Chains A and B, each alone.
Chain A
Amino acid sequence: MLYRENGQFKTTYAADQQIFTIAQDKWFVLGIVAFAFLAVPMLADEYMFRAILIPFLILSLAALGVNLLVGYCGQITLGAGAFMAVGAYAAYNFLIRIDGMPLIGALLLGGLTSAGMGILFGIPSLRVRGLYLAVATLAAQFFCDWAFLRIKWFTNDSSSGSVSVSDLSVFGWVIDSPAEKYLFCLGFIVVFAVIAKNMTRATIGRQWMAIRDMDVAAEVIGIRPMYAKLSAFAVSSFFVGVAGALWGFVHLGSWEPAAFSVDRSFQLLFMVIIGGLGSILGSFVGAAFIVILPIFLNQFLPALGGLLGLHISTAAVSHAELIIFGSLIVFFLIVEPHGLARLWAIAKEKLRLWPFPH
């Protein structure tokens, strides 16, 4: 009833090609963004910001980057954590080695460095495909883990590769309270999500999708595989690198290479696959799922145990968390292999017709 596009006529091509062709969609998304900018900073408390909202925003940015590569261009990567690390450490070096480097400049330069690394480690994708490529990208992961631990120049000669950043400020706006950090990340996320959405609708995104669906066929119709694949690696690594820099600068403050280990790479891939491959919304849903579920289990299991009169030790809770987390992943992949975003799309289709069956 509410969700119906009857009577929404398009009189220009521009109107027909806008991102949200259905007015309800547009208002819904704008409403969510407005809510996130205006209402959330007033409603949420410090714990919410630190433990849930900021990690969620930054990891959705990273998941967005991974989704561009895995979901849109079809190149499976297990090395996303490495590109986060490259972004974080490169941004750190730009910030401390160049006097007067603005924060946003450092973050974006970190992203660019990561994009360069992405192109370098994307070169094998021109010959190696599928699961072989997935394992090959682990080379980037382990090489970066090692490089940031052993090569002291990257970490400004600090021991064990741990570095820290303090006093974040943009044009005189000092970012120190959790709410300000949240707004800073949110600004980044919104801009990057719009860029990503538009990229996937433009020539470059269509080339990626053609390569994903069948690279030989794409080549036959005149798409250059080298350009398309490497651009996907570059753009994806740029997103992931900026996310890594934000993760280090804003969320952690001080970090060491272990913050971007292979587990992080798996986590990012989980987000895009559970959220939905080839879907911008999916990146957000997946990130929310992976960020919130462990926190929820951590709080909920002891409470449940208390309710039943059982005392559960912390070790047992952490094992139970692993079991439940793993089984939920298996469960969701079985019921909806195309990700949670597909459920949302199905729901929208149903809503358009409701209350009629056809």
Chain B
Amino acid sequence: MGFFIETLIGGLMAGMLYSLVALGFVLIFKSSGVFNFAQGAMVLFAALAMARFSEWANAALGGNSLFLANLIAFVGAGATMWLVAWVVERFVLRKLVNQEGATLLMVTLGITYVLEGVGQTIFGSEIYNIDVGMPKEPVMMFENLFEGGILINKEDFIAALIAALLVGLLTLFFQKTPVGRALRAVADDHQAALSIGIPLNRIWVIVWLVAGVVALVAGIIWGSKLGVQFSLATVALRALPVVILGGLTSVPGAIVGGLIIGVGEKLSEVYIGPMVGGGIEIWFAYVLALVVLLFRPQGLFGEKIINRV
């Protein structure tokens, strides 16, 4: 029982991190109809920027204050993501308004290559560390409830908390601020939003910036866990089943989907994996999403797709 719950909690925490990446997909898809494959590359790019800025800032400050260096690096990386958002909107999206979904998908794959190339040219292509002072040691919990207690990784726990906090902030931003209201209007109907004077281009920059900041947070958490390296970009492929499971247009869907996929992956790997030779995590997530799609083609929380002739 203790082991089961331990796996469950591990899955939930991994799922929270998938949700973070999935959130980036959903934000951009909702507001501009672009299925942004570059989200993984954005995570890599943001994490690279963060790692190197932090290193440089630390050197410039003489290694006195890690916190200050990280703060500078965070602001710097955020500014970098703003630049990325602006460039993407100005030079790519603006010229591709009203194109088909498949074309836009391919464009974001092109952007992926560019981001990977630029990121590694500017920031280097070795493995870097992000040290934001996350505690690494695991803790035992509920020792009196279960035999042997439950081992929880403190780092995972904090990461999950940060993710939850970010989701809360985003919800507030979307529901309570004028910019958030404009974003929701654009997501509902582009033309109607334009007609009441919402500047579509600026909204897109903001959305890509928000997605960039989400990618930055995801990059910091993944990066401090695994080190910042090229394989970080493949995290997008792990988050895709989350997006379609939850629904492409739903923010809560990204969260719930992430938790389901995280738990499903871990449990399947532990309980089914040994029977078939292991390593089933990645396709199990996709098959799980596929099964859900067979019953709900728009995902769990997505808008119902209505076909009219």
Contacts and interface: CB of A to CB of B under 8 A. Distances in A.
Chain A, interface residues (CB within 8 Å), range:
35 or more
Given A135-B243, A216-B308, A146 B279 contact: yes
Contacts of B102: 70, 76, 134, 273, 277
Interface string B100-120: 111101110111111111101
Contacts of A337: 96, 99-100, 103
A149 interface: yes
B237 A333 contact: no
Contact of A132 (B103, B107, B248, B280): B248
Interface stretch (A165-173, A303-311, A313-321): A313-321
B117 A320 contact: yes
A235 interface: no
A70 B101 CA distance: 12
B294 interface: yes
Contacts of B92: 330, 334
A150 B110 contact: no
B124 to A, nearest CB: 9
Contacts of B118: 319, 323
B276 interface: yes
B60 interface: no
B268 interface: no
B117 A138 contact: no
Interface stretch (A15-23, A190-198, A236-244, A262-270): A262-270
A157 B33 CA distance: 46
Interface in A125-147: 127-132, 134-136, 138-139, 142-143, 145-146
A357 interface: no
A329 B107 contact: yes
Interface string A208-242: 00000011110010000000000000000000000
A355 interface: no
A316 B121 CA distance: 7
Contacts of B294: 124, 127-128
Give the interface size class of chain B. 35 or more
A145 to B, nearest CB: 8
A73 to B, nearest CB: 13
Nearest to A145: B283
B23 to A, nearest CB: 16
B286 A136 contact: yes
Contact of A322 (B116, B278, B309): B116
Contact of B117 (A70, A274, A322): A322
A323 B113 contact: yes
A80 to B, nearest CB: 14
Determine chain A's interface SS by DSSP, over half rule. helix
A216 to B, nearest CB: 5
Nearest to B37: A266
Nearest to B121: A319
Contacts of A328: 110
B253 interface: no
A7 interface: no
Name which of B92, B117, B307 has the most chain A CB atoms within 10 A of its CB.
B117
B298 interface: yes
Nearest to A331: B110
B283 A139 contact: yes
A326 interface: yes
A287 B305 CA distance: 34
B76 interface: no
Contacts of A145: 283
Q: Is the interface of B mostly helix, strand, loop or mixed?
A: helix
A327 interface: yes
B121 A146 contact: no
A151 B278 CA distance: 11
A330 B99 CA distance: 13
Contact of B113 (A70, A134, A329, A334): A329
A188 interface: no
Contacts of B179: none
Nearest to B122: A319
B113 A138 contact: no
B293 A132 contact: yes
Contacts of A334: 92, 95-96, 107
B258 interface: no
A134 B109 CA distance: 14
A135 B112 contact: no
B114 A216 contact: no
A139 B286 contact: yes
A138 B237 contact: yes
B276 A138 contact: no
B282 interface: yes
A319 B120 contact: yes
B290 interface: yes
A333 B280 contact: no
Contacts of B305: 129
A280 B191 CA distance: 36
Contact of B280 (A146, A326, A330): A146
Interface string B1-44: 00000000000000000000000000000000001000000000
Contacts of B309: 214, 216-217, 220
A215 B309 CA distance: 9
A270 B279 contact: no
Contacts of A94: none
A136 B289 contact: yes
Nearest to A218: B309
A143 B113 contact: no
28 contacts: A124-B290, A132-B248, A132-B298, A135-B240, A135-B289, A136-B290, A136-B293, A139-B287, A139-B289, A142-B283, A143-B286, A146-B282, A150-B276, A214-B309, A262-B237, A319-B117, A319-B118, A322-B116, A326-B110, A327-B114, A329-B107, A329-B113, A330-B92, A330-B110, A333-B103, A333-B107, A334-B107, A337-B99
Q: Would you list the 9 A-B pairs with minimal beta carbon distance, nearest first? A: A326-B113, A322-B117, A329-B110, A323-B117, A139-B286, A326-B114, A142-B283, A330-B110, A150-B277
Given A142-B286, A328-B110, 7 more contacts: A135-B289, A316-B121, A319-B121, A320-B117, A324-B117, A326-B116, A329-B107
